[in-house]
Amino acid sequence: MITSQQTAEQLADLAKRLELLVGRIEYGSIELIFHHGKLVQLEKNEKIRLDKPVI
């Protein structure tokens, strides 16, 4: 059984991970993946904008 202390620790860990992802992304998105009501994965999709065409 998960205690409220474990839940608080898990939420604090998740908040740190999300803060790291959000802090480093300039353009893009972060997606939270749930399976059977539980968060199982974080996905980061980042876009790099080019000021001038490369070719």
Where do the domains of the chain lie?
A: 4-46
User: Residue 8 has what pLDDT?
Assistant: 86
Q: Could you tell me whether strands 28-35 and 38-46 are parallel, antiparallel, or unpaired per DSSP bridges?
A: antiparallel
User: Residue 49 has what pLDDT?
Assistant: 82
Q: Report pLDDT digits (tens) over 1-50.
A: 678 888 888 889 888 888 888 887 888 888 989 999 888 998 989 888 88
| 23 phi-psi bin (left φ>0, alpha ψ -120 to 50, beta other) | alpha
pTM: 0.59
Is pLDDT larger for residue 30 or for residue 55? 30
